[in-house]
Amino acid sequence: MIDWGKINQPLSPSFFDRLYQKTKEFFDNQKEYFIVDCLACALPKYALKLRVYCEYAYQALFVHHLLRKPKKEDLKNFKPDLTLYVAPSVFADCALDGTNSETFIVLNLDKKSF
């Protein structure tokens, strides 16, 4: 459950799909980007597998130091529970994308158990 509060507001599925596609196309057209597979949560039984796509190397380095690194054997069949796209060069068009600003966050839940 997300506590949206007064500032952050939910987005309709059609607008989310539009922004998600815009972000995916951005990464598809990049010559270089950075992917970090990592774990959130210190207790293994609660660990959340994350895959983070980063536009810049410094973002990947930050994620690498912020979150836990999976064991080598776990990386062979790594399937993320959540995928995060970090693309500060991609902006929303408020009129077309249903946002209140050009800034947005795309999180793709790869599991339906949240």
pLDDT in tens, the chain (114 residues): 566 677 777 788 899 899 999 999 999 999 999 999 999 998 988 999 999 999 999 999 999 999 999 989 989 999 999 999 999 999 999 999 988 889 988 776 655 444
Q: What is the DSSP letter of 93?
A: -
Question: What is the C-alpha to C-alpha distance for residues 68 and 51, in angstroms, rounded to an integer?
Answer: 12
The CATH class, in words, for 13-109 is: alpha beta
Report the number of secondary-structure helices (H) and strands (E) in the chain. Answer: 4, 4
Q: How much is the pTM?
A: 0.84
Q: Please tell me the chain's helix, strand, coil percentages from 3-state DSSP, rounded to the nearest 5.
A: 30, 20, 45
The CA–CA distances, whole Å, from 91 to 13, 53, 76, 98 equal 18, 16, 34, 12
Spell out the domain ranges in the chain: 13-109
